[in-house]
Each structure stands twice: as C-alpha cells, then as structure tokens.
Amino acid sequence: MARVKRGQPWTGLAVLSVLCSVSCATHHGRGVSAPAAGGTLNLVTVTPSSGERVSKTTVVVAELAYSVTGFRKGRFYVTAQVATDDPKRTTSGRMPPARHVKLKATEGRLSLAFPVESVWDMPGIRRPLRIWFYLHETTGHGRSRVIAMTGPTDYGVD
C-alpha cells in the first residue's frame, strides 16, 4: 500500500482514486468499454451520374473509399439509403441485408450496387430520388449506428 508523506495530502487521494477506478472498471468482469468507432466514407464515382434520370430497372453503382477507426471484422457495413417523405427517415427499401457490403479491412475501396427497383414501388419514397451511402457500425442484434456518410446523389425519375 502507498505511504502518504506529510505535506503531500493529495498523493493519498490520487492513489485512492486510481485504485477505485481500476476496481470499478473491472467489477464483475465488465472491463472498460471500447471507444466508439469512427470513420470516413467518400464517393469516388457513381453510375449513373448525379442529375441523370433513372428508371425502375436502373442499378446505381457506387465506388466508395472508406476508413474505420476501432475496426473489428464483421461489425461494419455500407448501405444505400433513399430519402422518404419523412425528412428524419431514410430507407434501403426491399434490399436484403445480405446485399449490404460488409467491410473486411480497416480501410479500402468497395463497390456497392443498388437496384432502384428495391424502392421504386414503395409508398413514401421521395421523388426525385435522393440517395446517400452510409457506413454503419453494428451495435446489437438488428441495430446499428451511422458513423459516416456521403451524398446526397440526386436522380430524376422516368
């Protein structure tokens, strides 16, 4: 145990504070939480180009560059998100989660293909189409948070 010398009253408090912090952080095996992940996502190219017209059969293909801090395999993925009539909500429509692009490394490039038909007939989709690309971190079963995004990319509709 640390010995406190006369004239240094704060030393004992500092030692006590450190011991309490270590004890509290490891109580019941919980440990210290990992810092939240962060990242960047940049749109390198997109086809068709922003401003062009799209139809139900169009597939928007985005080439994206990404970087993730706090990367853990299987925890990060990229989706296309389309604006809805509710300004606080976007959707990937009927695009199945299996088609989301899962990240395999801390940084790199990826290609994401988004079939416009996955949102075309859905009620509440904003027209003209406005698409963002989101980098998600999985936070729990069926839950994620957006850590980076690009866009928007706007398209006229036929």
Residue pointed to by tokens 């850590």: 147
Residue type, 16: L
What pTM was computed for the model? 0.76
Q: Taking residues 77-96, report their average pLDDT.
A: 96
Q: What is the pLDDT of residues 98-121, one digit of tens each?
A: 899 999 999 999 999 999 999 999
Sheet with strand 107-115: strands edge to edge: 38-47, 59-69, 107-115
Instruction: Using the predicted structure, report yes or no on whether residue 139 has a pLDDT greater than 80.
Output: yes
**Ordered structural domains, the chain, with CATH:** 1-33 (no CATH), 38-157 (2.60.40)
Burial 6-42 (b: 16+ CB within 10 A, else e): eeeeeeeeeeeeeeeeeeeeeeeeeeeeeeebebebe
Percent of the chain scored above 90 by pLDDT?
72
